[in-house]
Amino acid sequence: MPAIHSFFDTPSPAGLTGVKAWLLTHDHKRLGIMYLWAVLFWFTVALTVGFLLRIELMTIGKTIMSAEIYNSAFTLHGVIMIFLFVIPAIPAIFGNFFLPIQLGTNDVFFPRLNLLSWYLYMFGGLLAIISLFTAGGFPDTGWTFYVPFSVGTNNNVPLTVFAAFILGMSSMLTGLNFITTVHRMRHKAMGWMQIPLFTWSLYATAWVQLLATPVISITLLLVIFERAFNIGLFDPDKGGDPLLYQHLFWMYSHPAVYVMILPGMGVISEIIPTFSRKAIFGYKAIVISSLGIAVAGSLVWAHHMYTSGMSDTAVFVFSLLTFLVAIPTAVKVFSWVSTMYKASIEMTPPLLYALVFIYLFSVGGLTGLVLGAAGTDIHVHDTHFVVSHFHFTMFGGTGFAFFAALHFWWPKMFGIMYNFKRAYIAATLATVGFMFHYVPMFILGMQGMPRRYYDYLPQFAQGNALAAAGGLLLFVGIMLMLINLVLSFRKREISSINPWGGVTLEWTVPSPPPLHNFVAEPNVKEYPYDFSEILTAENAGKKGQVTP
């Protein structure tokens, strides 16, 4: 058998050498890696900005930045985290890399479109950078760009909004590509109920991306038009209704939080059975709940607007629908926990991150019910309670799922293993820091401290100081985690084909995979989470040697 080159080492065709072999590539794996570095860059930037925000709030009055910069900083933190990190992170990196492999095929359906999506992503990021330094500086509106302020402020709203528009297009095209790939390029032997759960979650996500993103596109365009032509579509003086902006905005942006969390849930659905050596509990229930979240999640947007002046009927209906979304979410959480029941669990860094995910996300989900219930929401609306809830779901949820995915698939993507001890320490630091960072915010919110305020009353001082201390721990933990991953390149501890004992198709190909993914015809299992072969091999003492 000839030596198998990984996709890193495969010689490029003439005229496509050096950096061009990357910048003009159609290979989904190279694009995944390119997304990885870009996303990590933006994540680090926004993480640092977020950290500086908490330092500013550590003490009453000015600590390190002026009120104007503070306003721009929380907008910058939100815009980068939402549009450049949380939305693209898991689908664009791990989705691009692993969706085709899990489906037993050699690429996505539209490889050139995939490259275009990457360029749109980079272009959107570039525009965001430019808007920092031009025409009044970065917007001070918050990432929601609410009218009338976003139309009136002197800061550079149009360019930032346009950047978000471009990023939306990138995410939409990725979704389009994934749907077509799942339908048309799935391995012949793979039926719908044999698709791995990560790919299922990406499929459900892709539909939400297609369904919802155009709404934000048009909303953002309208903000630009309003600023350019003063039409007055949202201006009460000219007959418009600002509430409609909020409706249009959340019609996308609430489904978007499911775009953010669904792929994360997919990651967890892969990790939990792998380290439990046990078929996942309720495969079909998880599939259906993914689709259920995609559908129900598109119908709850106005729960952001209970205090904006909607009719009581609307508040009632949206509150009810919001409660309904909790059901499929709970189905997933219970399925994961049930999978671990009486399993032979093997502790590894990815599993630790996954367990932290389950805990943090459950807290985030349950506090979401406090906000979804109209009565309690009135009390905590627009307070730090919301900030904390949101970060528990998006950071504790998607963020930790992203970290779990990094640790889970790192050996497959690069063929090398990282240091476990440092990974555990980083995870512990980050988790403890996370709790000290965000739990005080719940309490501050209940006591009535508003979000996005530069300054606060003396009774909030203790909570804010605690949050800053926790923030420091969190920041250090995450930095340590990233450094640990990067250090694996120096030590180059070679990883085997299947270091974890996984059963989906990506664990049957070399690490890193060759250019066309499969060296032999993929062997699609009757049931995707069948661990009998792995267990037999492990009992025979051949762990890590499992070949298809």
Q: Are 488 and 419 in contact (CB under 8 A)?
A: yes
CB closer to another protein, 175 vs 397: 175
Binding mask 387-426 for another protein (x = CB under 8 A): ----------------------------------------
For position 317 contacting another protein by CB under 8 A, the verdict is no
Q: How far is the CB of 177 from another protein (least distance, A)?
A: 8
CB closer to another protein, 13 vs 61: 13
Q: Are 150 and 141 in contact (CB under 8 A)?
A: yes
One residue of 123, 146, 149, 225 binding another protein per CB under 8 A: 225
One residue of 210, 432, 482, 535 binding another protein per CB under 8 A: 210
One residue of 44, 180, 338, 419 binding another protein per CB under 8 A: 180
Q: List phi, psi (to 5°) of 303.
A: -70, -5
Residue 144: how many other CB atoms lie within 10 Å? 17
With contacts defined by CB under 8 A, name the span among 16-24, 33-41, 221-229, 473-481 that binds another protein.
221-229
Q: How far is the CB of 220 from another protein (least distance, A)?
A: 10
For position 167 contacting another protein by CB under 8 A, the verdict is no
One residue of 211, 256, 371, 505 binding another protein per CB under 8 A: 211
Binding residues among 8-37 for another protein as defined by CB under 8 A: 26
Rounded to a whole number of angstroms, the distance between the first and last alpha carbons of the chain is 16
One residue of 137, 148, 240, 510 binding another protein per CB under 8 A: 240
What's the Rg (C-alpha) of the chain?
23
One residue of 128, 248, 478, 546 binding another protein per CB under 8 A: 248
Output 369-372 pairs: Cβ under 8 A, ≥24 positions apart. Answer: 369/322, 369/323, 369/326, 371/303, 372/300, 372/303, 372/319, 372/322, 372/323, 372/326
CB closer to another protein, 180 vs 194: 180
By the 10 Å C-beta count (0-12 exposed, 13-18 middle, 19+ buried), 122 is classed as middle
Q: How far is the CB of 321 from another protein (least distance, A)?
A: 18
Q: Are 390 and 370 in contact (CB under 8 A)?
A: no
Cis peptide upstream of residue 91 (ω within 30 degrees of 0): no
By the 10 Å C-beta count (0-12 exposed, 13-18 middle, 19+ buried), 482 is classed as middle
For position 545 contacting another protein by CB under 8 A, the verdict is no
CB closer to another protein, 173 vs 268: 173
For position 223 contacting another protein by CB under 8 A, the verdict is no
Cis peptide upstream of residue 148 (ω within 30 degrees of 0): yes
Element (H, E) at 250: helix 242-276
CB closer to another protein, 65 vs 113: 113
With contacts defined by CB under 8 A, name the span among 237-245, 436-444, 470-478, 490-498 that binds another protein.
237-245
Binding mask 469-498 for another protein (x = CB under 8 A): ------------------------------
Residue 198 CA to its chain's centroid (Å): 13
For position 61 contacting another protein by CB under 8 A, the verdict is no
Q: Are 164 and 129 in contact (CB under 8 A)?
A: no
Query: 282-320: b or e for each residue (b if 16 or more CB lie within 10 Å)?
Result: bbebbbebbbbbbbbbbbbbbbbbbeeebeeeebeebbe
For position 380 contacting another protein by CB under 8 A, the verdict is no
For position 189 contacting another protein by CB under 8 A, the verdict is no
For position 172 contacting another protein by CB under 8 A, the verdict is yes
One residue of 31, 167, 197, 251 binding another protein per CB under 8 A: 251
Determine the Cα–Cα distance for residues 276 and 503; give it in Å rounded to an integer. Answer: 12
Q: Which residues bind another protein (CB under 8 A)?
A: 26, 106-107, 109-111, 113, 172, 176-177, 179-180, 183-185, 210-215, 217-219, 221-222, 225, 229-233, 237-241, 244, 247-248, 251
